[in-house]
Amino acid sequence: MAFFLLRRIATMLLTALCLTFIVFWLTNLAPNLEKLAKNQGNVRMTDEQVASFLQDRGYAQPLPLKYAQWLGVAPGWVIEGRDGTTRSRCNGALENGVLPEDARSFCGVLQGDWGYSTVFQDGVGSIIATRLGLTGKLMFWVMMVMVPGALIIGVLAGMREGSRTDRSLSTVSIITTATPEYVSGVVFIAVFASTAFGLRWFNGSATSAMENATFENFTLPVMTIALYGMGYIARMTRASMAEVMTAQYIRTARLKGVSFPNIVLKHALRNALIAPFTVIMLQFPWLLNGVVIVETLFNYKGFGWTLVQAAGNNDIELLLGVSVVSVFVVLITQLISDIGYVYLNPRISVS
């Protein structure tokens, strides 16, 4: 078990390293740096101004060196700019051009310094913490709606395969899974939030939900994400339930005269939930995917929205931070799903 965990963590670090290097390389391509300079300085900067802007702020160094500085294995740059100001990676603009005695020379991820977001003008660590918290809130409610809903639909549909209940519930779940968030979200806003349709039950914008989530402003984003995942999990639960219901021991129980509700709840349910558990855990990475669309659509400023802003504005260090967090979320949920699977199904062993 320990060896298994160790191997998983090693994979996680290696993946994070590879992914961040790719992101780093792409965001440091010359046109992207030019865009960055123009965003930060002025959209009408000349080529010379762009060059000196990049030079003065350490962007003109070789790629591997910059990456090593971000990681924290190489000392941060100190560059005397052409405008006379000396800037350093770790200590910002220097008053009199020299580093203070006690100044740090290494400041990278390994030192716990996630860098500075050029778009938001704030530390990457604190931005990600705030935004992840907001997405956490969204995810929590999505899970609260999605998981029980999906399991109930799946179990109801799977316990009598081929019945009318099964057919209708399966149809519903296939429709919700087949409708991507960017379609269902727009349809929801049009139907439930716009004057055009006249219902106006909910708000088409979730901006105020960041501070104060209410039934009105949070329902649509939660339902948009939840419905998409719900159909999929329900389908998995149904399949697994249907399979369990045809097993020998269920027939035996029926022949012994156990009542149908008892069979479903006491005999079938636990075995039927093994497969959905894995699927639910694997939904987390998919949810990250969904929040990118939904947060942008409903203008809810969480992790997905941050990712869009960071990518759209070529905010190098923020994008790297977002990537690292995403890698960890994906791999940790997989790890939990593997370990949980072992506990639910004693026939499987990880080592």
Partner 1 sequence: MTHTMQTKTLHPAAKLYADEYKAGLLDRREFLTRATSLGVTAAAAYGLIGLSQPVQAQTANIQQGGTLRIQTLVKAMKDPRAYDWSEIGNQSRGFLEYLIEYQNDGSFRGMLLESWEVSDDAKVYTLNVRPGVTWNNGDPFTAADVARNIAGWCDSAMEGNSMSARMGGLIDANTGQARDGAIEVVDDTTVRLNLSAPDIAIIANMSDYPSAIVHESYDGGDVYANGIGTGPFRPVSIEVGVKAIIERATDHTWWGTEVLGGPYLDRIEFIDYGTDPASWLAAAESGEVDLLYESVGDFIDILDAIGWSKTETVTAATLVHRFNQQTEVDGRVPYADRNVRVALAMMVDNAVCLELGYNGRGQVAENHHVCPIHPAYADIGPAPFDPAAGKAMLDGTDFADYEHELITLDDDWERNTGASVRAQIADAGVNIKHTVLPGSTFWNDWTKFPFSATTWNHRPLDVQVLSLAYRSGEAWNESGYANPEFDALMADALSIADAEKRRDVMAKVEQTLRDDGVMIQPFWRSLYNHHNGNVVNAEKHPSHEFHLYKFGFAA
CB of 204 to partner 1, least distance (A): 4
How is residue 208 written in tokens?
């105020």
Tell me if 43 contacts partner 1 by CB under 8 A.
yes
Taken in order 65, 67, 68, 70, the sign of the CA dihedral is positive
Tell me if 266 contacts partner 1 by CB under 8 A.
no
Tell me if 259 contacts partner 1 by CB under 8 A.
no
Secondary structure percentages of the chain, helix, strand, coil, to 5: 70, 5, 25
Binding positions for partner 1, 222-241, rule CB under 8 A: none
Looking up tokens 């062993």 gives 349
Closest to partner 1 by CB, 102 vs 211, is 211
Taken in order 157, 159, 161, 162, the sign of the CA dihedral is negative
Question: Which value, in Å, is the radius of gyration of the alpha carbons in the chain?
Answer: 26
CB of 324 to partner 1, least distance (A): 21
Closest to partner 1 by CB, 74 vs 308, is 308
Looking up tokens 């939840």 gives 226
Per-residue binding string, partner 1, 295-324, x by CB under 8 A, is -x-xx-x-------x--xxx----------
How is residue 340 written in tokens?
């949980």
Closest to partner 1 by CB, 80 vs 122, is 122
Binding positions for partner 1, 177-196, rule CB under 8 A: 189, 193-195
3-state secondary structure of 88: strand
Cα–Cα distance, 334 to 12 (Å, whole number): 11
3-state secondary structure of 259: coil
Among 54, 90, 119, 287, binds partner 1 (CB under 8 A): 119
Residues that bind partner 1 (CB under 8 A): 31, 34-35, 38-39, 41-46, 49, 52-53, 83, 119-122, 189, 193-195, 200, 203-205, 207-208, 216-217, 296, 298-299, 301, 309, 312-314
